[in-house]
Amino acid sequence: MSEKGGGLYAGARTETKARLKALRAALASEKADAILITDLKNARYLTGFTGSNAFVIITESRAFLLTDSRYTTQASEEVRGFHIKTVTKALDAVAALVASMKIRSLGFEAANVTCSMHSRLSEAMPKVRLKPFTGLAGIRIRKDASEIKGIRASASLLDTGYRDAARLIRPGAIERDVALSIEMALRRRGADGLAFDTIIASGPRGALPHGKASEKVIKKGEFVVVDMGVLMDGYNSDETRTFVVGRATTRQSEIYGIVRDAQARALEAVRPGVKAGEVDAAAREHIRKSGYGKYFGHGTGHGVGLDIHEGPSIAPGNDEILVEGMVITVEPGIYIPGWGGVRIEDMVLVKKGGYELLTKTGKDLRAL
Amino acid sequence: MSEKGGGLYAGARTETKARLKALRAALASEKADAILITDLKNARYLTGFTGSNAFVIITESRAFLLTDSRYTTQASEEVRGFHIKTVTKALDAVAALVASMKIRSLGFEAANVTCSMHSRLSEAMPKVRLKPFTGLAGIRIRKDASEIKGIRASASLLDTGYRDAARLIRPGAIERDVALSIEMALRRRGADGLAFDTIIASGPRGALPHGKASEKVIKKGEFVVVDMGVLMDGYNSDETRTFVVGRATTRQSEIYGIVRDAQARALEAVRPGVKAGEVDAAAREHIRKSGYGKYFGHGTGHGVGLDIHEGPSIAPGNDEILVEGMVITVEPGIYIPGWGGVRIEDMVLVKKGGYELLTKTGKDLRAL
């Protein structure tokens, strides 16, 4: 882990500088003297550190990474531009540092800090004003070059899992066995893990948008929805394909075609300057006009990066504007209770004038 | 998942009643009108519900489980004795329920609720006093019969992983490949996942108490520390064995023997009425007298259950008294930087007059 992380982040050091600069701009607008970062993904984003114990303190002119003795060597290899301190009692060390710099107001991540931890922070520095801070989600929503490289690699690895899926899905196979075999192959090829429990939902189970692979036996004639993601070097990927086992019926071909067209329309809508809700509407409108509107109950997509679900939400009525550098999923579906479902999902990078497809498995209906 | 969970919890319903009774006793002593449970493991413990979305509200006379529409069927199958409500906006639903019952003070889990969530709760019910509540850890520390059954099954499955380890570890094998193969076999045999990333630390890496399986090639003559855990039907297990590849040297045999004796002494100390710190001292004292005191830097053990790390902590100076029904690990080790390490860990149930071993892999030094 340490070596791989170091390798990735070696090329990202100019970018961690830019990230720190963006955070400092937020610091000024939040009117805090310093910000305490406790979310491990945010700490990684700012410093490049991939360990599991990190407290980051940023002031206008200084930057500290606090970690424990397990990670001293790793932190010194991965991180540049931060004072690295090895500490035993992290919150006491934070308080001591805050006191030594005469910090009076400290931003903290309200979505990450529990009430218990907040109490301990307050007790350790009774004179410091703790201010809820939300600034990093807004910075992370736009991916920089080294992040895009990481996401591209994760998506590209994920594509290989769909080759396995096409080989393993057959009448008589058990959903869970297929999922395990694919996971194992992905991990042997370099995935650090899955982004989420693999969804393999065959036949009527396809009507569940979150049908985790089960003990169900896959049968001839069924649709099989396969929704997977991998985590590699910190970055998530997310993709869905729907296969048919044997020959598709007329109704299966029709419904697959509607979802495929809906996804194509949503993709066509993706470009900088467009509202997230417009991308959703492009898919939703097509499914509605085709007569299946009530069978598409979820949003059309979401941002992906260090977290598998990030902003922006590609959902009805979301006025957030897409900008270059966002990475989003586009994943409409039709789910008919008792019959089954179809979902097709790609991950795309928002680029000048349009988008770039990051997941590249074919989308013609494939009969296995 | 749903069927398996239902099966396990069918036999646990009389026990969920006793758990609810224990929580209500805590409710009275905390002087709150009701308690809101947001930690999913605590919600599962109280209700038997295994879904990933749950808010539980308990008053002196009533008990509610709130979940979303994905889980309506599952909740009705798994849960008895709770009013089950399907909700969309959970916090608003919590506030409405609290208002309808005229609740004035509501206990919440301070170690689980983030500052953001606390703000939203306060806004949704401005007249209700929110009181930090810590009562469930104290209740969960003592396992009841159905929990012990679950933990026993998890530990027994884990033992099979050590048979795989003994077969797979050989000169030339890569730590990470061995870990993946064992994981896959455990999952095919029914594990829902690992309790933590498998530690396979060979040669000098054995000196890292948390040496996650790496790309390192295992060599002849090395010690290999294998620390694994599985998660099955909600319950964790945890075990460590150290193997030697080829013939052990005199020094290896000596150090292994010291750790083995230290572990035996700590196990002998385990019985109701003893302080947790005394169990730690039994192992620590033996290692110190043998001249390796400075090479044993961590605590001797911890509780295990729905969480992989729970109370009690088997650490120096902990005055907490062991009682029947606690499940703890006993895991002393010696770690010599640059040379390697040995750790031997079992999970035991504290019983009248002593303990019962839950992990049963042999402890004679095994040469592979």
For B170-227, the pLDDT digits (tens) are 999 999 999 999 999 999 999 999 999 999 999 999 998 778 899 999 999 999 999 9
Burial string for A281-300 (b: 16+ CB within 10 Å, else e) reads: bbbbebbeebebeebbeebb
CB B161 within 8 A of CB B228: yes
Asked which of B140, B168, B183 is the last residue of a domain, the reply is B140
Report if residue B106 sits inside a domain: yes
Report if residue A366 sits inside a domain: no
**What pLDDT is stored for residue A127 in this prediction?**
95
Give B8's pLDDT tier (boundaries 50, 70, 90): very low
Are residues A226 and A273 located together in one domain of the fold?
yes
In tens, the pLDDT along B129-181 reads: 999 998 798 999 999 999 999 999 999 999 999 999 999 999 999 999 999 99
Are residues A290 and A224 located together in one domain of the fold?
yes
CB A324 within 8 A of CB A148: no
Report if residue A249 sits inside a domain: yes
Which residue on chain A is closest to B115 by alpha carbon?
A: A110
Q: Among A1, A177, A212, whose Cβ lies nearest the Cβ of B212?
A: A1
Beta bridge partners, B230, equal: B194
CATH of residue B83's domain is: 3.40.350.10
The reply to whether residue A188 touches residue B177, judged by beta carbons under 8 angstroms, is yes
Are residues A299 and A242 located together in one domain of the fold?
yes
**What pLDDT is stored for residue A208 in this prediction?**
84
**What pLDDT is stored for residue A189 in this prediction?**
95
CB B338 within 8 A of CB B207: yes
Residues near B7 by beta carbon (within 8 Å), at least 6 away in sequence: none
Are residues B203 and B317 located together in one domain of the fold?
yes
The reply to whether residue A113 touches residue B114, judged by beta carbons under 8 angstroms, is yes
Asked which of B99, B125, B140 is the last residue of a domain, the reply is B140
Report if residue B150 sits inside a domain: yes
CB B81 within 8 A of CB B64: no
Give B297's pLDDT tier (boundaries 50, 70, 90): confident
Q: What distance in Å separates residue A287's CA from the closest CA in chain B?
A: 22
**What pLDDT is stored for residue B6 in this prediction?**
39
Are residues B179 and B291 located together in one domain of the fold?
yes
Are residues B188 and B328 located together in one domain of the fold?
yes
pLDDT over 70 at B3, yes or no: no
The pTM of this model reads 0.89
**What pLDDT is stored for residue B7 in this prediction?**
41
Report if residue A265 sits inside a domain: yes
Q: Among A132, A180, A214, whose Cβ lies nearest the Cβ of B115?
A: A132
Report if residue B365 sits inside a domain: no
**What pLDDT is stored for residue B12 in this prediction?**
58
- Long-range interactions of B253-257: CB distance < 8 A, separation 24+: B253/B365, B255/B292, B255/B334, B255/B336, B255/B342, B256/B223, B256/B342, B256/B365, B257/B365
Are residues A108 and A231 located together in one domain of the fold?
no
pLDDT over 70 at A9, yes or no: no
The reply to whether residue B188 touches residue A180, judged by beta carbons under 8 angstroms, is yes
What's the domain range around B252?
145-357
The reply to whether residue A1 touches residue B214, judged by beta carbons under 8 angstroms, is yes
pLDDT over 90 at A255, yes or no: yes
CB B345 within 8 A of CB B329: yes
pLDDT, mean of residues B76-94: 93
Retrieve residue B106's tokens. 């509501």
CB B355 within 8 A of CB B332: no
Q: What's the number of domains chain A is made of?
A: 2
The reply to whether residue A115 touches residue B119, judged by beta carbons under 8 angstroms, is no
Are residues B290 and B351 located together in one domain of the fold?
yes
Report if residue A365 sits inside a domain: no
Give contacts of B116 with chain A, Cβ < 8 Å.
110-111, 132
CATH of residue A230's domain is: 3.90.230.10
Give A12's pLDDT tier (boundaries 50, 70, 90): low
- As a whole number, the mean pLDDT across chain B is 93
**What pLDDT is stored for residue A1 in this prediction?**
29
The reply to whether residue A111 touches residue B116, judged by beta carbons under 8 angstroms, is yes
Q: Among A112, A115, A132, whose Cβ lies nearest the Cβ of B110?
A: A115
Asked which of A91, A111, A139 is the last residue of a domain, the reply is A139
- As a whole number, the mean pLDDT across chain A is 93
Give contacts of B108 with chain A, Cβ < 8 Å.
115
Give contacts of A187 with chain B, Cβ < 8 Å.
180
Are residues B119 and B187 located together in one domain of the fold?
no
Q: Which residues of B touch A (CB under 8 A)?
A: 1, 70, 108, 110-116, 118-119, 132, 177, 180, 184, 187-188, 208, 210, 212, 214
In tens, the pLDDT along A42-94 reads: 999 999 999 999 999 999 999 999 999 888 888 998 999 999 999 989 999 99
- Long-range interactions of B4-13: CB distance < 8 A, separation 24+: B4/B233, B5/B48, B5/B50, B5/B74, B5/B78, B5/B233, B5/B234, B6/B77, B6/B78, B8/B146, B8/B150, B8/B233, B8/B234, B9/B48, B9/B50, B9/B78, B9/B146, B11/B146, B11/B149, B12/B48, B12/B146, B13/B48, B13/B80, B13/B81
Q: What distance in Å separates residue A352's CA from the closest CA in chain B?
A: 35
In tens, the pLDDT along A170-223 reads: 999 999 999 999 999 999 999 999 999 999 999 999 998 778 899 999 999 999
Are residues A343 and A320 located together in one domain of the fold?
yes
Are residues A193 and A73 located together in one domain of the fold?
no
pLDDT over 70 at B310, yes or no: yes
Place of tokens 């979940």: B67
Mutation pick from A69, A108, A115 vs chain B, by most beta carbons of B within 10 Å, is A115
Are residues A134 and A150 located together in one domain of the fold?
no
**What pLDDT is stored for residue A235 in this prediction?**
98
Q: What distance in Å separates residue A114's CA from the closest CA in chain B?
A: 4
Report if residue A238 sits inside a domain: yes
Q: Among B1, B112, B187, whose Cβ lies nearest the Cβ of A114?
A: B112
pLDDT over 50 at B313, yes or no: yes
